[in-house]
């Protein structure tokens, strides 16, 4: 019985346990059955939430300044978004691992069991995400309310603006009825609008968040507002028109408007009447009135007069600056020797400016009609003496402080009219920028700020200034990277790169350019992907060979550089030759150019088919050392046409023959020639050889040494080209030729005259096809110099022409070797011009350049009757021309053995008896210093001869007495008046003559 009871009890317990297991299993099955679907639902919801978070966070990805949120608020919100996105992405990854929609039945069951074990983790993450949702919902509700308040505020501003506009128009109508000259200004409207408080003030002020900024004058405009202006002076009045766009938001001169105005002003008293319109915000209004102004006449303003006097005192001894390195160093030495005198002039200038400002006769805010302030003029003057800035720092600082004391708007709508640009305008080399102390003075007084340099910060001249004054870059979003490059911090630069906080493509300024001179930093940035083109001009400008070589070796382009403000140079070679770059820089660039051309040729030989190579003039197998002087642009084009990958660094430029490089100089030509570029006589597509181009586009300091180098290498003009025809085109060379006496101390021809002598293979006596009255058998190159027709304001050309005329006999003895017939034609041509017969010359229209200057030039009326009278007069003049030539030949026969003395005496006589005059009777040539030579006036005291025919008796008598007096010593003394002036001697030294 006990056993039965035990069995029953056991069965009962088993049944109870089975029932419990069944109930638990049923409950567990119900839970596990729905887990896969719940996971998929939660997964989809999580993915949607992640997408929402990305959409919200994208509002904060742009620049901070473009949003209304402060830096503090933006940081808090982005931090919440980041945490929520991180939590959601981790949950999404967890759910992805548990997803089983596409799994088999067995796998789904196992996933359900595993999911149950992850339930607590999933629930915790969901709870945290719900918390983030609540926070974000609260923040978005706050933003919605803030936006609503802003809209309400804007609507209230619109209402106020409309009321103000209505008031302004009513006032305008009222004043118009009373014929008043004062019209309501839009500035009153702006002040009204500014008086309304913003319902959502910036959080920056409340949180005390401020950035350190460079010191500046709070009222000084440095933002360079854009605009334009023009004026016309008539009878002491100035008619003006101007268009001006508002200043930047943080500029103290900002009024939020665009204005167009015109009017009339007087400079004494300084009053202007102006009418125009202003567009600002929601308003469009008429402006105008009668008001004072600050525009002055630079010739009458005490401040500008003091500046002009100082400039004359400081620069009269040195004239214009030059760009040759040796000459610049000589000037620097001279400045150092005169530093006491220079400092005294600057102190006198400071005292005069103070007196003018204190007396009220001038003001720092005065400016001229062309938007030039006294500060601009002073900065240019101070920049010239950059080598003395250390010695002058005190007086420079005091003067700048005085000139900015009036909180003047020094920009006046002209972005270029800024003290910074005035300072850099006179500097072409980094040596002067390093010696500069003026930039720090201007920065301390607020004349240079970050916003005033942003437009020009890609200029290589600015890089050295940024290194000296890194505070100018503090407002830049890449300031940390800029600072790391300036401080040469390899650790900081690497950290910023690892954190992806450096924008390698920014160019205002380029981070790579700031690292020039620091090869380690350059290599780090280049390895990170920086563009070497961004820094190549800076490296050339700073004459730093290791940086140049590193940039070029990292595939920097040498041609077609797309660099703002220097695009006209086109390539690295042009930029180097335009500066004071050392010969080592040019040599390095040429070396790298040769290496790349040979690499391009090697690639073409390997990749192009034999037929294509033959068409280009090349072969697969080179039996001689390949030359870099080949048709590289065509080879590059064929490689691209055959789909061969070619690095852009191998682009050889568009010139087939580099000897036609637009930036060619003597040094560059020699480097290229030594490197294998020997086609120096090959013409371009217009038939002009490099020598011809150096003369046609003549610039003395560059073309003189270049032309002489070509001549030393045996280059000359084509024999088929008439020398005179070529000189007709080479106007600059033709005008400069007689400007100086080109004779060395050992009596040899030099300089321009030497080039003139050697330029054409047939010499200087080759005649042209002119067959009019000015020449019997054509004009010579010597004579064409006299045929140049200068405009009236270039009267100095007549001095050069007189010098040329008297010196021809001496030039002939020293190497030109002119024949007697050539001198006779020169005589005929000069008398021809003095008779006013230039209009009859077949080349007159090519020579006169449209200037009506000579007597006879004004007789060109098309009226038939007047034309007949002119032709009749020309026939009489032709007789006079023949008579002068007959007298010349007759007297020449008598004094042939003393030709130079005869030539001088003949032209002295004609200077008195038959002067070169304008149509108004003024003498073109300056009076001669006769010295011990007898005065021709005594041979015609009665002045009875008034015919065009020569005064044979007086001229013959004068020559008979004058020629014996012209001994070699007398001739040397006479020629002394044609010797170069001090300024011309400096030019001779600069040109290397």
- pLDDT score at 436: 79
Residues 46 and 115 in one domain: yes
* For range 600-627, the mean pLDDT: 86
Task: Round to whole Å and give the CA distance between 220 and 191.
Answer: 19
Q: Are 105 and 112 in contact (CB under 8 A)?
A: no
Per-residue pLDDT of 27-71, as tens digits, reads 544 554 555 666 666 666 666 666 666 656 555 544 434 344 444
* For range 500-525, the mean pLDDT: 90
Residues 963 and 873 in one domain: yes
Q: In what order do the strands lie in the sheet with 270-280?
A: 227-234, 237-245, 257-267, 270-280, 283-292
Query: Within a domain: residue 414?
Result: no
Task: Give the CA dihedral 665, 671, 672, 677, nearest 10 degrees.
Answer: 130
- pLDDT score at 447: 73
Task: Round to whole Å and give the CA distance between 29 and 38.
Answer: 14
CA distances from 261 to 199, 242, 247, 294, 601 (A): 36, 5, 17, 16, 62
Sign of CA dihedral 242, 246, 250, 253: positive
Query: Within a domain: residue 547?
Result: yes
Domains: count for the chain: 5
Q: Which of 303, 378, 299 minimizes the C-alpha distance to 346? A: 378
Residues 529 and 612 in one domain: no
Task: Round to whole Å and give the CA distance between 633 and 458.
Answer: 30
Query: Within a domain: residue 517?
Result: yes
Residues 547 and 612 in one domain: no
Task: Round to whole Å and give the CA distance between 436 and 430.
Answer: 10
- pLDDT score at 688: 92
Residue % of the chain over a pLDDT of 70: 57
Residues 959 and 879 in one domain: yes
Confidence band, pLDDT 50/70/90 cuts, at residue 677 = very high
Task: Give the CA dihedral 371, 372, 373, 376, nearest 10 degrees.
Answer: 140
Lowest mean pLDDT among 264-278, 356-370, 658-672: 264-278
Q: Which of 556, 588, 615 is the last residue of a domain?
A: 556
For residue 172, pLDDT beyond 80: no
Residues 108 and 232 in one domain: no
Per-residue pLDDT of 718-741, as tens digits, reads 988 888 889 888 888 888 888 777
Residues 693 and 601 in one domain: yes
Sign of CA dihedral 282, 196, 67, 479: positive
Sign of CA dihedral 555, 558, 559, 562: positive
Bridge partners of 918, per DSSP, are 854
Confidence band, pLDDT 50/70/90 cuts, at residue 362 = confident
Per-residue pLDDT of 740-780, as tens digits, reads 777 766 677 777 888 898 999 988 888 877 767 677 777 88
Task: Round to whole Å and give the CA distance between 805 and 785.
Answer: 9
Non-local CB neighbours of 753 within 8 Å, separated by 6+ positions: 737, 742, 743, 811, 816
Per-residue pLDDT of 684-715, as tens digits, reads 989 999 999 999 987 777 788 899 999 999 99
Residue 808 or 335, more confident: 808
Query: Within a domain: residue 326?
Result: no
Residue % of the chain over a pLDDT of 90: 18
Residue 330 or 450, more confident: 450
Query: Within a domain: residue 722?
Result: no
Residues 946 and 897 in one domain: yes
Confidence band, pLDDT 50/70/90 cuts, at residue 672 = very high
Q: Which CATH number does the domain housing residue 546 bear?
A: 1.25.40.20
* For range 555-565, the mean pLDDT: 74
- pLDDT score at 418: 61
981-985, Cβ contacts within 8 angstroms, sequence gap of 24 or more:
983/319, 984/739, 984/740
Q: Which of 556, 582, 606 is the last residue of a domain?
A: 556
For residue 826, pLDDT beyond 70: yes
Q: Which segment, 59-63, 340-344, 788-792, 857-861, is predicted with the most confidence on average?
A: 340-344
- pLDDT score at 992: 55
Q: Which of 258, 276, 292 is the last residue of a domain?
A: 292
Residues 780 and 887 in one domain: yes
Residues 902 and 964 in one domain: yes
For residue 520, pLDDT beyond 90: yes
Query: Within a domain: residue 866?
Result: yes
Query: Within a domain: residue 531?
Result: yes
Residues 492 and 552 in one domain: yes
In terms of residue numbers, what domain contains 272? Answer: 194-204+214-292
* For range 229-233, the mean pLDDT: 65
Residues 141 and 224 in one domain: no
Q: Are 274 and 261 in contact (CB under 8 A)?
A: yes
Task: Round to whole Å and give the CA distance between 60 and 395.
Answer: 50
Query: Within a domain: residue 848?
Result: yes
């Amino acid at each position: 019985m006990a056993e039965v009871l035990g069995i029953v009890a056991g069965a009962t317990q088993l049944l109870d346990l089975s029932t419990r297991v069944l109930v638990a299993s049923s409950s567990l099955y119900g839970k596990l059955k729905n887990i896969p679907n719940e996971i998929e639902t939660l997964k989809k919801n999580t993915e949607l939430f992640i997408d929402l978070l990305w959409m919200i966070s994208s509002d904060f990805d742009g620049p901070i300044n473009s949003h209304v949120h402060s830096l503090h608020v933006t940081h808090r919100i982005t931090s919440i978004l980041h945490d929520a996105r991180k939590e959601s992405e981790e949950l999404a990854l967890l759910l992805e691992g548990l997803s089983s929609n596409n799994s088999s039945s067995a796998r789904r069951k196992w996933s359900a069991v595993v999911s149950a074990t992850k339930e607590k983790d999933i629930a915790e993450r969901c709870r945290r995400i719900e918390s983030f949702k609540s926070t974000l919902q609260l923040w978005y509700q706050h933003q919605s309310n803030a936006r609503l308040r802003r809209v309400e505020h804007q609507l209230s501003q619109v209402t106020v603006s409309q009321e103000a506009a209505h008031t302004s128009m009513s006032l305008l109508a009222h004043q118009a009825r009373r014929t008043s000259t004062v019209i309501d200004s839009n500035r009153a409207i702006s002040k009204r609008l500014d008086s309304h408080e913003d319902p959502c003030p910036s959080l920056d002020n409340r949180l005390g968040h401020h950035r350190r900024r460079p010191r500046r004058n709070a009222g000084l405009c440095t933002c360079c507002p854009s605009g334009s202006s023009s004026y016309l002076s008539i009878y002491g009045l100035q008619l003006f028109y101007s268009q001006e766009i508002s200043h930047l938001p943080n500029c103290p001169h900002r009024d939020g408007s665009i204005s167009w105005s015109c009017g009339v002003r007087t400079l004494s008293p300084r009053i202007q009447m102006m009418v125009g319109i202003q567009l600002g915000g929601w308003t469009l209004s008429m402006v105008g009135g009668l008001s004072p102004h600050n525009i002055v006449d630079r010739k009458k303003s005490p401040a500008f007069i003091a500046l002009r006097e100082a400039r004359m005192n400081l620069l009269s001894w040195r004239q214009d600056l030059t760009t040759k390195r040796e000459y610049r160093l000589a000037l620097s030495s001279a400045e150092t020797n005169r530093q006491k005198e220079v400092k005294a002039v600057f102190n006198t200038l400071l005292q005069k400016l103070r007196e003018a400002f204190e007396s009220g006769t001038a003001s720092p805010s005065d400016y001229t009609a062309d938007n030039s302030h006294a500060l601009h003029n002073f900065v240019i003057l101070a920049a010239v003496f950059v080598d003395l800035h250390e010695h002058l720092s005190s007086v420079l600082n005091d003067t700048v402080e005085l000139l900015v004391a009036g909180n003047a708007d020094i920009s006046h709508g002209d972005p270029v009219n800024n003290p910074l640009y005035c300072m850099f305008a006179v500097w072409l080399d980094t040596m002067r920028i390093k010696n500069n102390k003026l930039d720090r003075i201007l920065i301390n007084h607020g004349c240079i700020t970050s916003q005033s340099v942003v437009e020009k910060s890609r200029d290589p001249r600015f890089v050295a200034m940024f290194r000296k004054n890194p505070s100018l870059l503090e407002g830049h979003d890449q300031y940390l990277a800029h600072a790391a490059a300036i401080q040469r911090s390899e650790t900081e630069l690497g950290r910023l790169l690892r954190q992806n906080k450096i924008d390698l493509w920014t160019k205002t300024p380029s981070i790579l350019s700031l690292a020039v001179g620091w090869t380690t930093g350059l290599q780090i940035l280049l390895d990170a992907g920086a563009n070497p083109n961004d820094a190549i001009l800076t490296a050339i400008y700073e004459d730093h060979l290791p940086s140049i070589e590193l940039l070029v070796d990292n595939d920097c382009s040498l041609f077609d550089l797309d660099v703002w403000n220097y695009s006209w140079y086109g390539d690295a070679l042009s930029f180097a030759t335009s500066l004071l770059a050392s010969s080592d820089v040019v040599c390095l660039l040429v070396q790298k150019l040769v290496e790349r051309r040979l690499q391009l040729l090697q690639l073409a030989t390997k990749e192009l088919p034999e037929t294509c190579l033959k068409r280009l003039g090349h072969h697969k197998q080179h039996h001689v050392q390949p030359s870099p002087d080949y048709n590289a642009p065509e080879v590059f084009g064929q490689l691209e046409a055959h789909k061969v990958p070619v690095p852009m660094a191998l682009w050889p430029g568009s010139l087939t023959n580099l000897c036609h490089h637009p930036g060619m100089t003597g040094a560059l030509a020699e480097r290229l020639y030594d490197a294998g570029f020997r086609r120096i006589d090959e013409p371009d597509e217009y038939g002009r050889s490099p020598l011809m181009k150096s003369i046609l586009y003549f610039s003395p300091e560059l073309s003189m040494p270049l032309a002489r180098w070509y001549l030393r290498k045996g280059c000359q003009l084509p024999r088929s080209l008439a020398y005179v025809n070529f000189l007709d085109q080479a106007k600059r060379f033709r005008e400069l030729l007689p400007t100086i006496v080109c004779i060395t101390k050992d009596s040899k021809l030099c300089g321009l005259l030497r080039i003139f002598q050697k330029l054409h293979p047939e010499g200087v006596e080759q005649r042209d096809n002119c067959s009019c009255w000015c020449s019997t058998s054509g004009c010579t190159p010597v004579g064409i110099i006299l045929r140049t027709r200068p405009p009236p304001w270039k009267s100095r050309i007549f001095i050069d022409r007189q010098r040329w005329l008297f010196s021809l006999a001496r030039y002939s003895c020293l190497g030109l070797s002119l024949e007697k017939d050539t001198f006779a034609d020169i005589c005929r041509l000069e008398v021809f011009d003095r008779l006013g017969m230039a209009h009859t010359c077949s080349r007159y229209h090519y020579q006169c350049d449209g200037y009506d200057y000579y007597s006879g030039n004004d007789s060109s009326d098309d009226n038939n009757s007047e034309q007949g009278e002119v032709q009749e007069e020309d026939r009489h003049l032709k007789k006079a021309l023949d008579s002068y030539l007959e007298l010349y030949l007759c007297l020449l026969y008598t004094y042939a053995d003393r030709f130079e003395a005869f030539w001088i005496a003949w032209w002295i006589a004609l200077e008195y008896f038959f002067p070169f005059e304008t149509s108004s009777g003024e003498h073109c040539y300056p009076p001669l210093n006769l010295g011990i030579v007898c005065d021709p006036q005594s041979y015609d005291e009665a002045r009875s001869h008034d015919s065009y025919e020569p005064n044979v008796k007086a001229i013959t008598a004068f020559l008979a007495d004058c020629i014996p007096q012209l001994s070699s010593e007398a001739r040397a003394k006479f020629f002394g008046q044609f010797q170069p002036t001090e300024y011309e001697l400096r030019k001779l030294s600069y040109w290397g003559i």
